[in-house]
């Protein structure tokens, strides 16, 4: 009898960078990350994105708020790297920098 | 007429008396322009001369001045702003509000810099202006219409080239925070100017396209400098973001720094803040396009659309609205936010005050007050209940039931319900607090305590305090000598930061520039602005003199309010801000104590040359600023 392992479905999550400044640094405005459907911490999501866009790494480690990328997953932003997000078929990730509106 | 011939303006004030139906033009010369720079400054002087302290806001003697900036209707980007000056029914004192759109441009194209609306009509009227032809016409068929419908009706009558300044049903019913709208969606929102026009039975003003133009003193130099401004705007990182994501691009920076007030100033951050942000409006597809005021190349307004709530196609929401009707009332439903913003636009309501009032109802209900409102609304006014919020808006505009009380604003409403509820009526001096957490952003706190309008941002937008960009850090260093004083939660250097911004803002308003390019973005500093002023008007003006003119305007506005009874005791903040701690995301607690505020005020008064005990400008300072005519009032209050 064969053993059937349950393999989580692979999905492509679209990542869109909104801010011109970050697009310039990253050298790309849109991409997709391939992950297995499931739950991920913000930290894991950031690591996955940075593997694809290593040029953003210095900014993500910056203490300067004006330079730090903000990451929205499924329309929600968290600053807690342990915050857990579900990534599924309709997920989307948006990256932007702090604005100056008021 | 004072002084020589003028350039860049017409030197013409159009007076319209709605009681006597008399219309006349008053001319002014370069002296007034040199001293007061333009619209806001000149109107403060006209207000001093015209609106005596005993004049009631709802009386024929209250004069509404509507003036275009000195650079408005010239080839200068982001310089199309108009200032409206009046005695406020919300605060009972001098008030001014700035508005964008095209109205100021068309005003100057019709040959006038300022309109002064005097008296009051017995029947609804509107004013039609086509160069020298000025008519007061019946407005029975416009009265009762919302702003968008009234504008459309006037466009059908006069053609697409007109522009309008209109009030909505809120102004007609004297709601104390009724706005004045230009070009439909641009709003002189605060202080209840719409109610003053409503009292005067003036539905609005229609401007034809006009056939006049202003003459520049040195057009070649002015154009060269204008191109420099264009270049600076294009290279300003803050303004690039504002262009792309609108003013609501401020939401997430404030959320991150714990300065985004949610749930009626009880929580300075919010898990759902992103739903109230300019970036989300883009990401989620609400944004149809960017909308700019006349002369503006930033175009920070948003054309938005949703198919929900009956379908909405509108302009906005701006940052303040996004928070006031968003996190402030626990609303993460962006479709509902767009709908409520549109209702406020067309009814003619100030969204900051509106959000403050709704949040107060929700908190009062939570604490056991206003329990009867549930039956009146048919739903509980609890946090995030959109149905309740929308019903409250409708009731306020119609002054129906609880709406009649809420139309009076927080200062009145809380006292009528129970003094205890005034602790969470987040207002001071009759005006609801703008959308920034002043317990943590301390330059804003000092600025709000001093602002002649009330606790509000559009007099002293000290955005550089956050230090989000390199430019803002440089500015804080230039003002205070300390780069490290950029950032929130700090008291150091705040009096200097506030004073610089007040002066810069006063001249910014007066020339008609948008504050976004001078005090939020940094495309134009005082050095460039003084060069522009000289090229435009031919009046010699260096940066130091320009800043001094800003100080003159600030000091005159203070003296106007001193004459209206203001003293240092009025330099305050809402009870909640000075008595209740707010807890940040990482557990730090902040309150701005009265001692801290007093310490900052002392330093500010010392810097300004004002009396520390009373907050009244000292006679020698008034003389130094050519404000001798105000000295008798100062001496009376000072007892000297």
CATH of the domain at B254: 1.10.569.10
For residue B462, the chain A residues in CB contact (below 8 A) are none
Q: Are residues B389 and B276 in the same domain?
A: yes
d(CA B420, CA B425): 9
In the predicted structure, residue B334 carries a pLDDT above the cut 80: yes
d(CA B382, CA B398): 22
Looking at this predicted complex, what is its ipTM? 0.91
3-state helix, strand, coil in chain B (%, to 5): 45, 15, 40
| Predicted confidence (pLDDT) per residue in B194-212, tens digit | 999 999 999 999 999 999 9
Interface contact A84, partner B, CB < 8 A = no
Q: Are residues B475 and B394 in the same domain?
A: no
For residue A72, the chain B residues in CB contact (below 8 A) are 274, 279-280, 283
d(CA B342, CA B184): 11
Please choose, from the candidates B45, B34, B87, the residue with its C-alpha nearest in 3D space to the C-alpha of residue B628. B45
Name the CA radius of gyration of chain A, rounded.
Answer: 15
Distance from CA of A70 to the nearest CA of B (A): 8
For residue A94, the chain B residues in CB contact (below 8 A) are 279, 283
In the predicted structure, residue B223 carries a pLDDT above the cut 80: yes
Look at residue B181 and tell me if it is in a domain. yes
In the predicted structure, residue B2 carries a pLDDT above the cut 80: no
Interface contact A75, partner B, CB < 8 A = yes
Segment 519-558 of chain B within 8 Å of chain A by CB: 520-521
Q: Are residues B381 and B447 in the same domain?
A: no
CATH of the domain at B164: 3.60.9.10
DSSP string, B319-364: HHHHHHTTGGGT---HHHHHHHHHHHHHHTB-HHHHHHHHHHHHHH
For residue A19, the chain B residues in CB contact (below 8 A) are 241, 244
| Residue B50 in tokens | 């015209």
| Predicted confidence (pLDDT) per residue in B130-155, tens digit | 999 999 999 999 999 999 999 999 99
d(CA B36, CA B34): 6
Interface contact A74, partner B, CB < 8 A = no
Q: Are residues B52 and B16 in the same domain?
A: yes
d(CA B208, CA B130): 5
Interface contact B498, partner A, CB < 8 A = no
Q: Are residues B145 and B268 in the same domain?
A: no
Q: Are B447 and B462 in contact (CB under 8 A)?
A: yes
Q: Are residues B470 and B546 in the same domain?
A: yes
**What pLDDT does A2 receive?**
59
Nearest chain A residue to B333 by CA distance is A75
CB atoms within 10 A of CB A48: 17
Q: Do B279 and A101 touch (CB under 8 A)?
A: no
Segment 250-279 of chain B within 8 Å of chain A by CB: 250-253, 255-257, 271-275, 278-279
Q: A78, A98, A101: which to substitute to probe chain B, counting the most B Cβ within 10 Å?
A: A101
| Residue B167 in tokens | 């009030």
Q: Do A101 and B237 touch (CB under 8 A)?
A: no
| Residue B163 in tokens | 């522009």
**What pLDDT does A8 receive?**
74
Q: Are residues B622 and B507 in the same domain?
A: yes
Boundary-marking domain end, from B432, B455, B476: B432
Q: Which of A57-71, B151-165, B231-245, B555-569 has the lowest mean pLDDT?
A: A57-71
Q: Are residues B400 and B498 in the same domain?
A: no
Interface contact A16, partner B, CB < 8 A = yes
| Residue B579 in tokens | 């008595």
Please choose, from the candidates B84, B37, B36, the residue with its C-alpha nearest in 3D space to the C-alpha of residue B62. B84
Q: Are residues B591 and B490 in the same domain?
A: yes
Peptide bond into B317 cis (omega under 30): yes
Q: Are residues B288 and B153 in the same domain?
A: no
In the predicted structure, residue A101 carries a pLDDT above the cut 80: no
Look at residue B450 and tell me if it is in a domain. yes
**What pLDDT does B185 receive?**
96
Q: Do B463 and A100 touch (CB under 8 A)?
A: yes
Kindly indicate the confidence band of residue A4, based on its pLDDT and cuts at 50, 70 and 90: low
CA B224 to chain CA centroid, nearest Å: 31
Kindly indicate the confidence band of residue B401, based on its pLDDT and cuts at 50, 70 and 90: very high
Task: Provide, rounded to the nearest whole percent, the portion of chain B with pLDDT above 90.
Answer: 96
Q: Are B442 and B494 in contact (CB under 8 A)?
A: yes
Boundary-marking domain end, from B380, B397, B432: B432
| Predicted confidence (pLDDT) per residue in B358-396, tens digit | 999 999 999 999 999 999 999 999 999 999 999 999 999
CATH of the domain at B450: 1.10.599.10
**What pLDDT does B96 receive?**
98
Look at residue B16 and tell me if it is in a domain. yes
Q: What is the average pLDDT across B49-62? A: 98
Please choose, from the candidates B74, B101, B98, B78, the residue with its C-alpha nearest in 3D space to the C-alpha of residue B10. B74
| Predicted confidence (pLDDT) per residue in B88-139, tens digit | 999 999 999 999 999 999 999 999 999 999 999 999 999 999 999 999 999 9
Of the candidates A72, A76, A79, the beta carbon closest to that of B256 is on A79
For residue B457, the chain A residues in CB contact (below 8 A) are 102
For residue B520, the chain A residues in CB contact (below 8 A) are 100-102
**Total of domains in chain B:** 3
Look at residue B1 and tell me if it is in a domain. no
d(CA A1, CA B391): 66
In the predicted structure, residue B523 carries a pLDDT above the cut 80: yes
Non-local CB neighbours of B456 within 8 Å, separated by 6+ positions: B190, B352, B431, B433, B434, B448
Q: Are B582 and B268 in contact (CB under 8 A)?
A: yes
In the predicted structure, residue A6 carries a pLDDT above the cut 80: no
**What pLDDT does A97 receive?**
87
**What pLDDT does B3 receive?**
58
d(CA B365, CA B354): 17
For residue A65, the chain B residues in CB contact (below 8 A) are 253, 256-257, 466-468
Q: Do B252 and A70 touch (CB under 8 A)?
A: yes
Q: Are residues B462 and B400 in the same domain?
A: no
Nearest chain B residue to A68 by CA distance is B468
Q: B243, B245, B484: which to substitute to probe chain A, counting the most A Cβ within 10 Å?
A: B245
Q: Are residues B328 and B407 in the same domain?
A: yes
Residue B396: domain span: 237-432
d(CA B609, CA B554): 12
In the predicted structure, residue B1 carries a pLDDT above the cut 60: no
Interface contact A100, partner B, CB < 8 A = yes
Look at residue B279 and tell me if it is in a domain. yes
Look at residue B134 and tell me if it is in a domain. yes
Boundary-marking domain end, from B432, B452, B469: B432
**What pLDDT does A20 receive?**
86
Interface contact A97, partner B, CB < 8 A = yes
Through-space distance between the first and last CA atoms of chain A, rounded to whole angstroms? 66
d(CA B389, CA B356): 11
Q: Are B504 and B519 in contact (CB under 8 A)?
A: yes
Please choose, from the candidates B321, B573, B318, B607, the residue with its C-alpha nearest in 3D space to the C-alpha of residue B441. B573
Non-local CB neighbours of B420 within 8 Å, separated by 6+ positions: B369
For residue A97, the chain B residues in CB contact (below 8 A) are 241
Q: Do A99 and B271 touch (CB under 8 A)?
A: no
Kindly indicate the confidence band of residue A100, based on its pLDDT and cuts at 50, 70 and 90: low
Look at residue B160 and tell me if it is in a domain. yes
DSSP string, B518-569: TTTS-S--HHHHHHHHHHHH-----HHHHHHHHHHHHHHHHHHHHHTT--GG
Number of Cβ pairs < 8 A linking chain A and chain B: 105
Residue B82 — φ and ψ, nearest 5°?
-120, 140
d(CA B456, CA B462): 11
Look at residue B582 and tell me if it is in a domain. yes
- Residue recorded with tokens 């060069």: B531
Q: Do A99 and B241 touch (CB under 8 A)?
A: yes
Non-local CB neighbours of B29 within 8 Å, separated by 6+ positions: B1, B2, B3, B4, B5, B6, B11
Q: Do B247 and A101 touch (CB under 8 A)?
A: yes
């Amino acid at each position: 009898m064969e053993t059937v392992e349950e393999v989580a479905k692979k999905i492509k999550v679209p990542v869109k960078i909104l801010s011109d400044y970050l697009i310039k640094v990253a050298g790309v405005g849109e991409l997709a990350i391939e992950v297995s459907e499931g739950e991920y911490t913000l930290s894991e999501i950031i690591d996955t994105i940075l593997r694809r866009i290593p040029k953003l790494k210095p900014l993500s480690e910056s203490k300067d708020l004006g330079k730090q990328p903000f990451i929205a997953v499924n329309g929600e932003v968290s600053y807690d790297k342990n915050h857990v997000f579900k990534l599924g078929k309709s997920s989307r990730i948006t990256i932007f920098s702090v604005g100056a509106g008021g | 007429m004072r002084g020589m011939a003028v350039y860049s303006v017409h030197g013409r004030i159009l007076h319209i008396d709605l009681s006597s139906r008399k219309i006349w033009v008053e001319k002014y010369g370069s002296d007034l322009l040199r001293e007061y720079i333009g619209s806001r400054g000149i109107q403060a002087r006209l207000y001093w001369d015209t609106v005596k302290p005993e004049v009631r806001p709802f009386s024929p003697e209250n004069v509404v001045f509507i003036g275009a900036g000195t650079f408005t209707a010239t080839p200068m980007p982001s310089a199309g702003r108009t200032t409206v000056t009046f005695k406020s029914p919300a605060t009972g004192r001098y008030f001014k509000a700035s508005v964008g759109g095209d109205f100021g441009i068309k005003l100057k194209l019709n040959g006038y810099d300022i309109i002064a609306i005097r008296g009051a009509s017995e029947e609804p009227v509107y004013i039609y202006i086509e160069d020298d032809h000025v008519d007061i016409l019946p407005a029975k068929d416009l009265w009762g219409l919302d702003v968008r419908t009234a504008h459309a009706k006037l466009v059908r009558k006069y053609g697409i080239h007109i522009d309008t300044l209109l009030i909505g049903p809120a102004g007609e019913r004297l709601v104390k925070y009724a706005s004045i709208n230009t070009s439909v969606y641009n709003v002189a929102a605060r202080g209840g100017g719409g109610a003053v026009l409503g009292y005067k039975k003036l539905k609005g003003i229609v401007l034809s396209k006009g056939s006049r133009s202003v003459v520049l003193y040195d057009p070649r130099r002015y154009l060269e400098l204008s191109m420099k401004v264009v270049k600076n705007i294009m290279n300003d990182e803050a303004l690039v973001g504002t262009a792309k994501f609108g003013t609501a691009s401020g939401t997430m920076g404030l959320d991150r720094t714990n300065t985004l007030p949610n749930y009626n100033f009880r929580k300075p951050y919010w898990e759902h803040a992103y739903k109230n942000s300019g970036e989300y409006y883009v990401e989620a597809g609400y944004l149809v396009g960017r909308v700019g005021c006349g002369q503006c190349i930033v175009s920070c307004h948003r054309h938005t659309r949703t198919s929900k709530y009956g379908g909405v196609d509108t302009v906005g929401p701006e940052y303040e609205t996004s928070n006031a009707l968003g996190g402030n009332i626990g609303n993460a439903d962006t479709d509902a936010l767009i709908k409520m913003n549109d209702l406020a636009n067309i009814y003619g309501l100030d969204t900051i005050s509106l959000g403050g009032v709704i949040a107060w109802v929700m908190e009062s209900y939570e604490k056991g007050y206003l329990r009867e409102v549930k039956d009146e609304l048919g739903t509980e006014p609890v946090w995030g209940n959109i149905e309740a919020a929308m019903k409250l808006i409708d009731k306020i505009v119609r002054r129906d039931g609880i709406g009649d009380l809420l139309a009076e604003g927080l200062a009145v409403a809380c006292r009528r319900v129970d003094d205890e509820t005034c602790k969470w009526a987040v207002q001071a001096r009759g005006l609801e607090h703008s959308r920034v957490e002043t317990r943590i952003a301390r330059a804003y706190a000092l600025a709000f305590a001093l602002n002649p309008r009330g606790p509000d941002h559009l007099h002293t937008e000290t955005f550089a305090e956050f230090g989000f960009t390199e430019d803002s850090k440089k500015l804080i260093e230039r003002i205070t000598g300390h780069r490290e004083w950029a950032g929130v939660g700090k008291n150091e250097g705040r009096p200097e930061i506030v004073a610089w911004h007040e002066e810069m803002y006063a001249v910014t308003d007066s020339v008609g520039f948008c504050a976004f390019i001078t005090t939020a973005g940094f495309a134009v500093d005082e050095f460039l602005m003084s060069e522009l002023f000289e090229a435009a008007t031919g009046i010699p003006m260096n940066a130091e003199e320009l800043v001094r003119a800003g100080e003159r305007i600030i000091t005159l506005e203070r003296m106007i309010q001193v004459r209206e009874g203001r003293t240092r005791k009025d330099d305050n903040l809402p009870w909640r801000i000075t008595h209740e701690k707010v807890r940040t995301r990482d557990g730090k607690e902040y309150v701005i104590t009265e001692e801290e505020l007093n310490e900052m005020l002392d330093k500010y008064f010392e810097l300004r040359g004002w009396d520390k005990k009373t907050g009244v400008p000292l006679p020698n300072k008034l003389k130094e600023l050519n404000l001798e005519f105000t000295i008798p009032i100062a001496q009376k209050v000072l007892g000297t």
